[in-house]
Structure 1
C-alpha cells in the first residue's frame, strides 16, 4: 500500500531552548525520494524522528494518508520504517539475527524472515558477514546491516537518517540505488544526508538551516 506523509508547519523544541524545527513543512510521496540536507545541528534527525512518531511537535503536525501520527506504535502500524543514524543494532546478535528479530517482531513468519534476511544482506554485499556478531563488524558493515534490516521490512514509508556516512563511494552508490528501488516499488522515501552528490540523486531536496526549511527542488512543500 502506498502512503503519503505530510509535515505541516511543524515546530519541535527540546526543553526551554530555541526550537530545533520552526514551522517546517514537507511532503513525501509514493515513488519519490526526498533528500533532507543541511549542516550538523540543522534538525535533519529531529525531522525524521518526528515523521517516525518518536517526537511530538509543540506546534503543527505530521499525517500519513490524512491520519495524524500520534506515536511510534501508530507509525509502525502504518508501515513507517526508520533506519536510524546510530544503526540501533544489538551487539550480542549476529547481522542476520538483527534483521530476523525485526521481521518476526513485525509479524513475519520465521521462514519468510529467514528468506528476506538472506535477500537483504545479499543486496548490501553482506552475505559473508551474516553469522558475524555486530561487534565484529566494521562501522560500514554495521551501517549496511541496519540498512538491510530497514529494507527487509518493506515499509510504505522509509526514513533513512544519514545512512551513508560510514560508507565508501561504491557502497554509498549502492545504497542510493537501493533507496531508489524502494521508491520504484511504491514507497515514499526520505533520506537525510550531508552529501551533495547523494542529494542530487534524489527527486526533491529540502534544505534545513537553523531549524527552518527551504525547498531546493521537487514537489515537497516547505515553509518557515
Structure 2
C-alpha cells in the first residue's frame, strides 16, 4: 500500500488568497487520519490537493515519492476521492454509478457487478441498487457515493464530510467501513466537523486560521 505526503505546502485556489500555509502531513497505510476544522477552514482544499485537483502554490504532494500533478495521475496511483457533494450522475441508477466507476478504473464487467453488490450491501442499499440517483433521499445518495468509493478499492481513500447527512446508526456503520479500509492497508483521510468521529480516528490534524496543527500525530 502507499503513503501520501505533503511537505510545507501553501494551498490556494486564487493567487491572491492562500487558504492554508505551510501544511505538512502524511497519510499512512493502515491508519485513519481525521482532518478537522470549522466550515471554511480548508478541509476540502486540503483533500483536493491530496486528490490531484489542486496544485500547491508552494511545496508538492507525493504518493510513494512520486510527485502528484493532476487528477488522472492520482486515479492511476490509486487515490480515491469521495467528495462532499457526492458527484453522482443523477440519470444513472445507484448500481450503475458504481459499476461505471469500477470499469473506468480497469475493472472488468464481472468485477464491477461483484464489487457493486458488495459495496451496496453493508450500507443498506441493496434494495435501492436499481433506483435512479434522483429518486433517492439525500442520505441514500451520500451512502451510494460512499459505496462507490469503497468499491474502487484504492490504496489511498479521501473522504470529505461523508457522514454529514447520515443518522447516528449510519454514521457508525460508515466509520466501521473506513476502519475496514484501513485494516486492509489503505491510507484513509477523513475530513469531518464531528468531534466524536474524529476521536475514533488514529490521528487528527486540525485546520484553523490558515494553518494545520496536529492534535494527535
> Shorter-chain-normalised TM-score: which range?
over 0.9
Per the TM alignment, residue 70 of structure 1 is displaced from its structure 2 partner at its CA by 1.1
**1:177-216 alignment, distance < 5 Å:** 177-216=176-215
Pick which of 18-27 and 127-136 moved more: 18-27
Q: Which runs of 4+ in 1 moved over 4 A?
A: none
**Residue 8 of structure 2 aligns with which residue?**
9
1:25 aligns to 2:54 (yes or no): no
1:162 aligns to 2:161 (yes or no): yes
**CA offsets per residue over residues 66-101 of structure 1, 9 Å max, x none?**
111111111111000000000000000000000000
Which stretches in structure 1 are left out of the alignment for 5+ residues? 219-224
Conserved 8 A contact 1:43-1:210: no
**1:1-224 alignment, distance < 5 Å:** 2-218=1-217
Conserved 8 A contact 1:206-1:216: yes
**CA offsets per residue over residues 170-195 of structure 1, 9 Å max, x none?**
00010011001000000000000000
| SS across alignment from 1:20 | strand
1: CA distance between counterparts of 2:15 and 2:152?
37
Conserved 8 A contact 2:38-2:208: yes
1: CA distance between counterparts of 2:96 and 2:46?
29
2: CA distance between counterparts of 1:80 and 1:195?
24
Conserved 8 A contact 1:7-1:62: yes
Root-mean-square deviation (CA, aligned residues, Å) is 0.7
Per the TM alignment, residue 123 of structure 1 is displaced from its structure 2 partner at its CA by 1.4
What is the TM-score with the length of structure 2 in the denominator?
A: 0.99
**CA offsets per residue over residues 43-71 of structure 1, 9 Å max, x none?**
00000000000000110111011111111
Which stretches in structure 2 are left out of the alignment for 5+ residues? none
Per the TM alignment, residue 18 of structure 1 is displaced from its structure 2 partner at its CA by 2.6
1: CA distance between counterparts of 2:189 and 2:15?
29
